[in-house]
Structure 1
Amino acid sequence: MRNILQVVVFLTALFAIVLCSSENYAFSQMNKTGGYADQVKFIRFSNENVAYQEVTNGHLDSYFFQIPLHLVESAKKNSNLEVFEKEGLSYGLLINPYNASQTFNPFSIKEIRFAMNFLIDRNFIVNNILKGFSNPIVEPYGPTSPEYHNVIPVVDPLKIHYDLTLATKSIKDSMIKAGAIMDGTGKYTLNGKAVLVKILIRNDDLLRKSFGDFVASEVEKVGFTVVKEYGDLTKANRVVYGSDPADLEWNVYTESYISSSFSRYNPTTVSQMYAPWFGNMPGSQNPVFWQYSNSTIDDLTQKLVFNNFTSEIERNNLLRQAESAGLQEAVRLFFARSFDPYISSSKISGLINDYSAGIANKLSLINAIKNNTDNSTLNIGMKEVYQGAWNNVKGCTDFYCRIIYSLVADTPTISNPYSGDPEPSRNMWTYLFSKGPTDTVIVPSDALTWNPFNQSWDKNKNQSNSALTKVTMTPLFSNWHNGELMDKYDLLYSYYFPFEWSTDTKNNDKTFDAEYSSLIFPTLSLIKGIKFYDNNTFDTYVDLWHYDKKLVPSYGTLWPSEPWEITAATERLVADNKLSYSKSDANIKHIDQLSLNLPVQSELIKRELIKMSNENYVPNPLKGLISLEYALERYKSSIDWINIHHNAVIGNGPYYLETFNPTGGVVTLNAFRDNTYPFKTGIYSDFENPPELRIDRINIPKFLKIGDPYDFDLLLGLNNLSNGSNSFSGIIDHFISDRNNKIVVEGSTVINNISNNHSDSKGQHQLDESGAVTISLNASQTQELIPGPAKIKLIITSTESPKPLIQENTLIARP
């Protein structure tokens, strides 16, 4: 299952009792496990104005969608509300580059795709559509990402900006070269036929629709005949991601997506947005479809994701090259990132405003408390409650599923909400071997890997294998929601699954999903083995290394999100073509995608479990390891669960799925108050206040003499330091651009143990004079400037939180 990815790919890319209004209430929570709330209800409110009123009058505790922008100021003044800002949706375009022989596709021409960067006015989108609650972007990271300073050197030289004249000329030159002419109405034709551009526009809400309509109008202005088609995410999944690009059902899709998780190192963003192997580009890596391919981007991003580098410099160069190639290919374009205002009732405390997810995250919901009330049910409004299949292989790709499911199934690690660094959760890290990029450890002879060709566990018999990393883990087992105790066989099954379902053994392999395989198969060679011990600990051996040791233990994590028997039952259904794990495979076979929460599909799973019980069935990866009695007991417990709850969503998290009613728009989770659950209520309260980096003083001289040394200094501070520390460390990256916007000077200054030992009357720390940081440029660096205005950009991060603080100043370079 997908959790094995955390063994080899950090695609994931997510403690004190919270102060309450009543001491007695706080005392009553001390011996509880899981979240404060006994129940969490997710309720559909498609109309944001209605949701705003429902939170105001106390019927909703929070709304996990942005409120209308014209209500933000009144919300800030409303004593019944708290307003939280989060980095929201990114608005962009996905372009179909298929080069058709019968129907001309103008976007098969790279120069036309790239010209779209200059055709669409980003400032208009920011100011007129998103009403200023956003920033223009030209690449997928944006200025709030810790990776921003790494990609600036390849982004800025492209000088991407709104230039209608440039865009029109570039498009015209390419169209004429392709043989097109412009008729008397100002429209391009080719061989007597109008050149059509089919634009699929998301209309889930007014902002998405307005963005799409604006793009369509601009494309039409330069001479294309535009056909607009509207649809929600469900339609987009079918038309854009689930169809063959060669069918040309679409040319342009006005895409909006949630930014990936905030992380100090984020290779998944550049991979997800540009790399075909990741399965998110036209064709979705389905072998039946035409595929957009780019071996250069694939090679660069796989090196990034699989840590195929030996130093930080090499790693950052790979990132820059991948970003540069993706920008110039222009299959996916970026225009704006919103900063969405979310609201909650002022009666709710404990919400955690994660840097990437805002308050709409797992830790926030677990830590939320309703004050001055006996009602412990959290009522959370959402735009939708169901938009796609719920399964743990290639489902749960939408925001709504991810939020709800995060409470149902735990993960082996959590992401620190302010640094993005992995921290142990259900896997405790007890030993780590990981030295240098060439230092290895021998994989023992009894370490296991699954062989899908002979359907057995292989052992490293001759001890010929070695690995860069060995991690010893202690899993924190608990009861599944159906009452059965988790065990090593659940772990072992989740270890087996990716080998089985991402490897095509040919001969009409029924346990193979091409879309799943595109992402997973490249990781298999890095998995060197697993060894279990009688005390429930296990060692994992992985051929991955990183210069930042904080990341390395997460590569060896292993954790199942559902009992092995549920996975085994769905495997049989998928192999019999009754259901499919992935969307593209479902479309090809004209069957439904597996969704564990749907009563009809849950009934199929239950019937399969009954058949397995009647057959005395034991799955191949567990044969010889478990008793028949144990297997039959597992089947019975899951059958009983489905009979009672009418769903097959059986997790190991702090809440379980009680009811799922998509028609009525309500999903209800109840607290799993089980004494085997390992985490006490209030464990995440330390995350309530984010660290905040400040510039207390900056002294940059207005004039710079070319060829002379140049110094400037600044004074930094950091609020909410953890563990009572009075100092912090970080890095200041500086970039100086000349009047032509060319970066001519760049460098980094490491800051160690900056003093942070004075507080003002509000409790905010202020630096003393000894904490000033000086940045120096030598004469040869300033010699690179040309006379005229220049721009200096500082990107400052701290070790405690790598979220950039950006400062820009203008200075005059003179001879």
Structure 2
Amino acid sequence: MTKILIIVSFLLIIGMMFIFFPGKNVYSIENKSGGFSDHIKFIRFSNENVAYQQVSNGQLDVYFFQIPLQLVETAKKNPNLKIYEKEGLSYGLLLNPSNSSNNFNPFSIKDIRFALNFLIDRNFIVNNILKGFGEPIAEPYGSTSPEYHNILPVIDQLKIRYDPNFAKEMINNAMLNVGSTKDSNGKFTLEGKPITIKILIRNDDLLRKSFGDYVASEIEKLGFTVMKEYGDLTKANRIVYGSDPAQLEWNMYTESLISNSFVRYNPGTVTQMYAPWFGSMPGSQNPLFWQYSNSTIDGLTQKLIFNNFTSEQERNELLQKAEAIGIEEAVRLFFARSYDPYISSSKIGGLINDYSAGIANKLSLLNAIKNGSDNNTLNVGMIQIFQGAWNNVKGCSDFYCRIIYSLIADSPTFSNPYTGDPEPMRNVWTSVISNGFNDKVNVSKNSIRWNPYGQIWETNEHVNNTALTKVTITPQYSNWHSGVPVDKYDILYSYYFPYEWSTKTENNDLTYDSEYASLVFPTLSLIKGVDFHDNGTFDTYVDLWHYDKKQVPSYGTLWPTEPWDITAATERLVMNNKLSYSKSDANIKGIDQLSLNLPVHSEMIKEELIRMINEKYIPNPLKGMVTLDYVLNRYNTSLEWITKHGNAVIGNGPYYLEEFNPAGGVVTLSAFRDGTYPIEVGSYSKFVNPPGLDIRKINVPKFIQIGKPFDFSIEMGVKNSSGELNPFIGSVNYIVTDRNDNLVIADKLTLNASKDVDNSFDSVNSSLTQTSLVNIHLNSTQTSELVPGPSKLKLIITTFDSPKPMISENTLIARP
């Protein structure tokens, strides 16, 4: 929920009309906005077996965690249940590469880190720990990502595989080079001391613990002395992400990461997983900590994030280079991704099965509806309900906060669950001007930017700035949950905040958070100004361009996630070292990380608001723009909310926070049935039925002659939401490797609607079935690089309507 605001489509970063429900629908949606349910309860069920029974008997409506894998087949036969599969956790390792401590750290050596790719058996994890519900991975995207075909050549070239002997040889050689020997028990020692690996293992559930125990066992077999420590995300936030790596409180952490959103272009994943500047690598970009640094991958990923490329080819080459360096550096490694079975009651309709998040997403909860019941409370089970701070700056980093908070505070855009393209939610794009990577527009003389040094708004009157993109936006205003309207000044304050809190104006700058700044400060140079108009619209100017025009409008989005007065109060608390926005800053100062849902922090905000009233305080970015009466009304309104509700979580979304009871394991949201809220009930029903790729036949000859042309074909179509089959429009990436796993051919064929369409009539279904016959030709130059023996042909097929890949592998016999 970070306040980056502009270029929101890249960084978090934190996815209508027709539904058929059997039986009687007891709800009237007349004059309703937001979601179908009047209340949504998130209830902690840490025992998945109990949760399964609760959904089966109707006490729970849906469970947002995987059910025990041994119950999947039973669930499929249970008439009371519906089962959904989603991308689950990525199981991997975060290694501490610090070399600045008096104690030797083996993972400060790159070869040892990289060797773990060959030591850990990915198939064992998938087959024995995940019970087949997953796939082996060596990178963070996985085979269901639209980026998969772009990074696959890199993965193939690195030849990552399970080869424990190769791994042991690499590690033994590296240890020998630093003077390590093995004692009589086969344990590594250095200067007579055993070399110890401290491994923090997530034990939130049995699968995480099993993965960690397996990794620890393999590390111990190498000859290291292993110290295992168990803990949940809260403990990991303190020890791993919030401590100085040089203190070596940990050497290895068994990460389990939630899959990223399904987006067509996803440079954020390679950036977050590998680039130090993003703030998620060891050191967290806190200047008081030792830092892992890599200027090369920082430069590559910043070019990707900020669209500093001139073509699709250049962009994909940047992605491949960044991915290759990230894997080779091996500070963060990946081994398996789970495919988690989620369940809902069969009485629940309208769930939207997002290609990445599955049914655990905002649109799904808004569109969920019960049949044959007068109970309009949706009961959602989760394994946890609170594991980290709730704040909109550097909090809300866990899944549990993100899913709940997404219903409380709207975002300006959302990602289409099947195309991965940005669509407007609270910003309507009235006009977009963005022509080419060198085609600039003049920035309005009236546009403004915040100057944190002078504490003033500066206009463009004497600067003559230009920008690559101009977006005219009509914001979809409504009331805050506290009752006052969202207005221009809320947007203005959210625009001010990143300048103020990511710019270090002096050594003891009190309005600076280094962890936040590492992520936000590099974006500021791309923001060229915002110009507010009297008719309620505003223009944003951004130095970003993309060859895909669908991506451009989201670059200029602006939207607040909380009232400016709440932000102003928390600023004062952070400036006075009473609370902190980020976990690393909180750990350094020995104070709490701000959490708006906690009563004790809410009370601190309440007391600060009272002081602001007594001082007649007007924040610098609003001075000269607003009246004192307006300001005092804002403070008093938020005071009333906190007094009544016991929390400072004031949003502008379809639900408000009614009850936060972590001890009782319940978070209750109530519908914000306010006439100003602009999104009507059922607005996202069009996403219930996803599009689908229907491959009828793949015609690939068994033999391929070296140095001769080779042709094959694919017959396929695309199903729309009504089940009709339309011609294929999309891309086929084809990759050929030889018997030694060397990459020989990597190419792509893109088809539009006018090519290779074969219309045929399906007499059984009495419908027109339109398929495409896609013909692919390999020329003699391409096949001449093959060597005799078995080769592999991998096809990665995506459609324009849905870029989720469908993958097919074929074995070819190459012969002279």
**Is TM (by shorter chain) over 0.5?**
yes
1:787 matched to 2:796? The reply is no
Q: In the TM superposition, what are the counterparts of 1:616-631 in structure 2 within 5 Å?
A: 616-631=616-631
Alignment partner, residue 283 of structure 1: 283
Shift of 1:521: 0.2
For residue 171 of structure 1, what is the aligned residue in structure 2? 171
Superposition deviation, residue 695 in structure 1:
1.2
Aligned equivalents of 2:765 and 2:724: distance in 1? 13
Superposition deviation, residue 18 in structure 1: 2.8
Contact residue 101 and residue 246 of structure 2 kept, 8 A: no
The 5 Å alignment of 1:83-94 reads 83-94=83-94
Report the equivalent of 1:546: 546
1:429-578 alignment, distance < 5 Å? 429-578=429-578
Equivalence for 2:608:
608
Distance 1:444 1:182, change over 3 A: same
Partner of 2:798: 797
Q: CA deviation at 1:631?
A: 0.6
**CA distance 1:743–1:381, change in 2 (3 Å):** same
Q: Is 1:731–1:748's contact at 8 Å kept on the other side of the alignment?
A: yes
Q: Please give the per-residue CA displacement for 1:58-110, whole angstroms capped at 9, x wherever unaligned.
A: 00000000000000000000000000000000000000001145211111110
Distance (Å, rounded) in 1 between the aligned partners of 2:790 and 2:5: 49
Of 686-695 and 524-533, deviating more is 686-695
Task: Output one character per residue of 1:426-485: Cα deviation in whole Å (capped at 9) or x when no partner.
Answer: 000010110000000111111000000010101112242100000000000000000001
Letter in 1 for 2:344: S
Matched, 1:230 2:230: yes
3-state DSSP class of the match of 2:549? coil
Contact conserved, 2:18 with 2:686, CA < 8 A, in 1?
Answer: no
* Aligned equivalents of 1:756, 1:324: Cα separation in 2: 40
Equivalence for 2:162: 162
Gap change, CA 1:268 and 1:7, over 3 Å in 2: closer
Give the match for residue 240 of structure 2.
Answer: 240
Q: C-alpha separation between the residues in 2 aligned to 1:764 and 1:437?
A: 49
Alignment partner, residue 810 of structure 2: 809
Q: Which residue of 1 aligns with 2:408?
A: 408
> What does 1:343-742 correspond to in 2, within 5 Å?
343-721=343-721, 726-742=726-742
Greater displacement, 760-769 / 484-493: 760-769
Deviation sequence 1:704-762 (CA, Å, 0-9, x none): 11111110111012222589884341000000110001110121111111658668689
Question: What's the RMSD between the two structures over aligned residues?
Answer: 1.6
Could you tell me whether the CA contact under 8 Å between 2:198 and 2:226 is conserved in 1? yes
Helix, strand or coil at the partner of 1:104? coil
Cα distance in 1 for residues equivalent to 2:25 and 2:179:
79
Bigger drift between 802-811 and 456-465 goes to 456-465
The one-letter code sitting in structure 2 at the alignment partner of 1:497 is F
Which amino acid is 1:137 matched to?
I
Contact 2:118–2:160 (CA under 8 A) maintained in structure 1 = yes
* Number of the residue aligned with 2:216: 216
Equivalent residue, structure 1, for 2:124: 124
Deviation at 1:324, TM superposition (A): 0.5
TM-score normalized by the length of structure 2: 0.98
1:19 aligned residue: 20
Separation in 1, partners of 2:637, 2:767: 55
Per the alignment, do residues 107 and 52 of structure 1 end up closer, same or farther by CA in structure 2, a change over 3 Å counting? same
Residues 44, 86 of structure 1: CA spacing in aligned structure 2 closer, same or farther, 3 A cutoff? same
Alignment partner of 2:643: what SS? helix
On the 8 A contact 1:540/1:556 being kept in 2, the answer is: yes
Distance 2:379 2:552 in 1: 38
1:198-250 residue CA offsets vs partner (Å, 9 max, x unmatched):
11100111000000000000000011011111111100000000000000011
Cα distance in 1 for residues equivalent to 2:358 and 2:760 = 30
The answer to whether the aligner puts 1:186 opposite 2:186 as a matched pair is: yes
Q: Distance in 2 between matches of 1:4 and 1:712?
A: 48
Query: How many aligned residue pairs are there?
Result: 813
Query: What amino acid is the match of 1:383?
Result: I
Q: Secondary structure at the match of 2:814?
A: strand
Indicate if the aligned counterparts of 1:5 and 1:520 stay in contact, CA closer than 8 A. no
Matched residue of 2:4: which SS?
A: helix
User: Does 2:222 align with 1:251?
Assistant: no
Alignment of 1:266-345 (within 5 A): 266-345=266-345
Cross-structure match for 1:58: 58
Alpha-carbon offset, residue 783 of structure 1: 0.7
Secondary structure in 1 matching 2:729 = strand
Q: Give CA-to-partner distance per residue, 1:484-531, whole Å, 9 cap, x none.
A: 011100000000000000000014110000000000000000000000
Does the C-alpha gap of structure 1 residues 761 and 218 become closer, same or farther in structure 2, counting only changes over 3 Å? farther
Aligned equivalents of 1:472 and 1:22: distance in 2?
Answer: 45
Q: Is the 8 A contact 1:149 1:733 kept in 2?
A: yes
Name the counterpart of 2:776: 775
In 1: Cα distance, 2:624 partner to 2:761 partner:
65
CA contact (8 A) 2:437 2:545 kept: yes
Once the two structures are overlaid, the 10-residue window that deviates more, 80-89 or 606-615, is 606-615
Q: Label 1:9 to 1:677 Cα distance change in 2 as closer, same or farther (>3 A).
A: closer
Paired-residue identity, %:
68
For 1:756 and 1:489, locate their aligned partners in 2 and report how far apart those are by CA, in whole Å: 57
Instruction: Using the TM superposition, name which of 156-165 and 520-529 deviates more.
Output: 156-165
In structure 2, C-alpha distance between the alignment counterparts of 1:516 and 1:762, rounded to whole Å: 60
SS in 1 for 2:550: coil
Counterpart of 2:40 in 1: which secondary structure?
strand
The CA deviation at 1:153 is: 1.3
**Does structure 2 conserve the Cα–Cα contact (< 8 Å) formed by 1:699 and 1:712?**
yes
Give the Cα separation in 2 of the matches to 1:620 and 1:121: 57
- 5+ residue gaps, structure 2, are none
SS at 1:10's partner residue?
helix
- Give unmatched runs, 5+ long, in structure 1: none
Match of 1:260 in 2: 260
Work out whether residues 7 and 558 of structure 1, in 8 Å CA contact, stay in contact via their aligned partners in 2. no
What is the identity, as a one-letter code, of the residue corresponding to 2:794? K
- Structure 2: distance between partners of 1:377 and 1:24: 15
- CA contact under 8 A between 2:25 and 2:371: conserved in structure 1? no
Aligned letter for 2:54?
E
SS for the counterpart of 1:776 is strand
Q: Deviations over 1:159-198 (max 9, x none)?
A: 1111111011110000001000011111110000001111
Per-residue CA distance 1:360-397 (angstroms, 9 max, x = gap):
00000000001000111000000001000000000000
- Once the two structures are superposed, the pairs formed by residues 42-53 of structure 1 within 5 Å of their partners are 42-53=42-53
| Structure 2 CA distance for partners of 1:689 and 1:460, relative to 1, 3 Å | same
Counterpart AA for 2:800? T
Q: Which residue of 2 aligns with 1:71?
A: 71
The question of whether the paired residues in 1 share the 8 Å contact of 2:26 and 2:373 is answered with: no
Q: Aligned partner of 1:87: which letter? A: E
